[in-house]
């Protein structure tokens, strides 16, 4: 049986920065992909649009839920 590994504060900070940077990269990549298709073909790529919209939806839903949950715990 494996022992569970708990990351320290420095590793958690590094992981958070890496995830944030990769999220920004994928968002910028999708926007560029959509704009490229829009300019070149006259219409946007449906797959890229759905990916971008779902990424933003998950981000904002999680953000709102966690703010609500943390606010509920403070009361």
What is the structure's pLDDT at 39? 93
Query: Rounded to two decimals, what is the model's pTM?
Result: 0.74
Dihedral sign of CA atoms 34, 24, 72, 69 in order: positive
Calculate ∠ Cα 66-48-15, nearest 5°: 40
- DSSP for residue 4: P
- Report the SS3 class of residue 3: coil
Residues of the chain with confidence (pLDDT) below 70: 1-2, 73-75
Q: Of all residues in the chain, what percent carry a pLDDT higher than 90? A: 63
């Amino acid at each position: 049986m494996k022992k569970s590994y708990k990351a320290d504060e420095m590793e958690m900070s590094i992981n958070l920065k890496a995830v944030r940077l990769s999220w920004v990269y994928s968002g910028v990549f999708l926007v560029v992909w959509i704009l490229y298709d829009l300019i070149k073909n006259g219409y946007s790529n449906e797959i890229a649009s759905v990916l971008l919209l779902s990424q933003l939806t998950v981000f904002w839903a999680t953000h709102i839920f966690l703010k609500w949950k943390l606010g509920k715990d403070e009361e």
